[in-house]
């Protein structure tokens, strides 16, 4: 494993920003750190970059003790949400910066630097724009320059902290696709911080979900969906319905519905977790009161009340739920659900 983070803790005063965090990334892996604001994602990234020192724990990369190395020795490429490019330098000079400031003995010749800049401009699809100044670029183009600058030093690892956070949704989606492409081309081990679950699940090979400085689960997007470790993970990955229920003698009871409990279900009081999009009208199921049915072109948005929770779901016109009428009480069966002890 090139990256091995073991038992990292970091407090600011009495506040524990990271509490016993361990994770590993394989060579060339794209790992996302996903969690709500304040969960410790940036703190962990700053520790990897050498901008922050942990109180306890170790970080190894390629079997070297990272914590004993300076940021420069670690040879990391960094991109932040607001990575201010040097405003008075052209795009080409911004990209070349990391190479030009190297000590003379490892500094490439000007011709080699110029060639490397051209290659990077092509890679980030900004060919011909090397002579522009940052103010003459769009926000998305500036972040691509920031990435080219980070890649110029041939980093051993890329650390990205909400690099697309300040951009609008469409540009974000385009850059996401583009970043994944760049990663496939370069194969650099990458750690990407975001609070946007769609971004994390789209981009990463594996996602670490953080809450209150603790890793809740580290898994592939598929496994996070299929086997969430706890209700927080389930809730964080998308619209969720969480209802209290009871499992007794192999039977599950929840909101007026009784069914066979799946093998291995916890006994006693449980939290029943499913997704509104996984519910279909059925003879047997959760009791649901239809609140509103709003047609929107080829889709219909249905809002229901199940127990004490209101959920909504978007369906095609031919979906059985699209025929529901406001005010009626129907039964909805979940295609899949998870049970956690309460």
Ligand X SMILES: Nc1ncnc2c1ncn2[C@@H]1O[C@H](COP(=O)(O)OP(=O)(O)OP(=O)(O)O)[C@@H](O)[C@H]1O
CB 331, min distance to ligand X, A: 40
Tell me which residues in 193-252 interact with ligand X (CB under 6 A). Answer: 195
CB 193, min distance to ligand X, A: 6
Q: Is 249 helix (H, G, I), strand (E, B) or coil?
A: coil
Q: Which is nearer to ligand X, 37 or 63 (CB)?
A: 37
CB 39, min distance to ligand X, A: 4
Q: Which is nearer to ligand X, 12 or 268 (CB)?
A: 12
Residue 290 near residue 304, CB atoms below 8 Å:
yes
CA 182, chain centre distance (Å)? 18
Tell me which residues in 73-112 interact with ligand X (CB under 6 A). Answer: none
Q: Which is nearer to ligand X, 236 or 272 (CB)?
A: 236
CB 9, min distance to ligand X, A: 12
CB 35, min distance to ligand X, A: 5
Q: Which is nearer to ligand X, 53 or 70 (CB)?
A: 53
Q: Is 70 helix (H, G, I), strand (E, B) or coil?
A: coil
Site string for ligand X, 119-158 (x = CB under 6 A): ----------------------------------------
CB 176, min distance to ligand X, A: 18
Q: Which residues contact 308 (CB under 8 A, 6 or more apart)?
A: none
Q: Is 130 helix (H, G, I), strand (E, B) or coil?
A: coil
- Please report, for residues 22, 43, 259, 333, the alpha-carbon distance to residue 255 in angstroms, rounded to integers and kept in the order given: 39, 42, 11, 11
Please give the size of the binding site for ligand X, defined by CB under 6 A: 11
Q: Which is nearer to ligand X, 14 or 308 (CB)?
A: 14
- Please report, for residues 51, 107, 117, 213, the alpha-carbon distance to residue 98 in angstroms, rounded to integers and kept in the order given: 17, 10, 11, 32
CB 109, min distance to ligand X, A: 40
Q: Which is nearer to ligand X, 41 or 176 (CB)?
A: 41
Site string for ligand X, 162-201 (x = CB under 6 A): ---------------------------------x------
Residue 108 near residue 96, CB atoms below 8 Å:
no
Closest C-alpha to 276, from 313, 221, 228: 313
Residue 273 near residue 234, CB atoms below 8 Å:
yes
Tell me which residues in 269-298 interact with ligand X (CB under 6 A). Answer: none
CA distance 62 to 178: 27
**Residue-wise DSSP of 184-200:** HHH--EEEEEES-HHHH
Q: Which is nearer to ligand X, 37 or 109 (CB)?
A: 37
Residue 328 near residue 283, CB atoms below 8 Å:
no
Q: Which is nearer to ligand X, 92 or 200 (CB)?
A: 200
CB 52, min distance to ligand X, A: 8
**Residue-wise DSSP of 206-238:** EEEEEETTEEEEEE-HHHHHHS-SSHHHHHHTS
Tell me which residues in 17-46 interact with ligand X (CB under 6 A). Answer: 17, 35, 37-43
Chain residues in the site for ligand X (CB under 6 A)? 12, 17, 35, 37-43, 195
């Amino acid at each position: 494993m090139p990256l091995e983070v073991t038992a990292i803790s970091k407090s600011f005063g009495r506040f524990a920003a990271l509490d016993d965090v361990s994770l590993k990334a394989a060579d060339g892996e794209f790992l996302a750190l996903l969690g709500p604001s304040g969960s410790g994602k940036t703190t962990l990234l700053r520790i990897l970059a050498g901008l922050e020192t942990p109180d306890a724990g170790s970080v190894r990369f390629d079997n070297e003790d990272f914590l004993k190395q300076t940021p420069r020795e670690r040879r990391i490429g960094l991109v932040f949400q607001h990575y201010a490019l040097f405003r008075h330098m052209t795009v080409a000079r911004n990209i070349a910066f990391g190479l030009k400031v190297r000590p003379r003995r490892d500094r490439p010749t000007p011709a080699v630097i110029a060639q490397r800049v051209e290659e990077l401009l092509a890679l980030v699809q900004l060919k011909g724009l090397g002579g522009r100044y940052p103010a003459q670029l769009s926000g998305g183009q500036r972040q691509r320059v920031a990435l080219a600058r980070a890649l110029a030093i041939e980093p051993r690892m890329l650390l990205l902290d909400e690099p697309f956070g300040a951009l609008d949704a469409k540009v974000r989606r385009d850059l996401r696709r583009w970043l994944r492409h760049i990663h496939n081309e370069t194969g650099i081990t990458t750690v990407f911080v975001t609070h946007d679950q769609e971004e994390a699940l789209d981009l990463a090979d594996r996602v670490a979900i953080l809450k209150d400085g603790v890793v809740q689960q580290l898994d592939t997007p598929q496994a996070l969906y299929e086997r969430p470790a706890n209700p927080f993970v389930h809730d964080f990955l998308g619209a969720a319905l969480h209802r209290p229920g009871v499992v007794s003698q192999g039977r599950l009871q929840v909101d007026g519905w009784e069914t066979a409990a799946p093998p291995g279900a916890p006994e006693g009081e449980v939290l029943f977790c499913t997704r509104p999009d996984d519910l279909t009208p059925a003879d047997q199921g959760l009791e649901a009161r239809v609140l509103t049915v709003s047609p929107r072109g080829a889709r219909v948005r249905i809002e229901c009340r199940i127990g004490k929770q209101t959920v909504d779901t978007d369906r095609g016109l031919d979906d059985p739920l699209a025929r529901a009428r406001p005010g009626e009480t129907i039964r909805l069966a979940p295609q899949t659900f998870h049970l956690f002890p309460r």
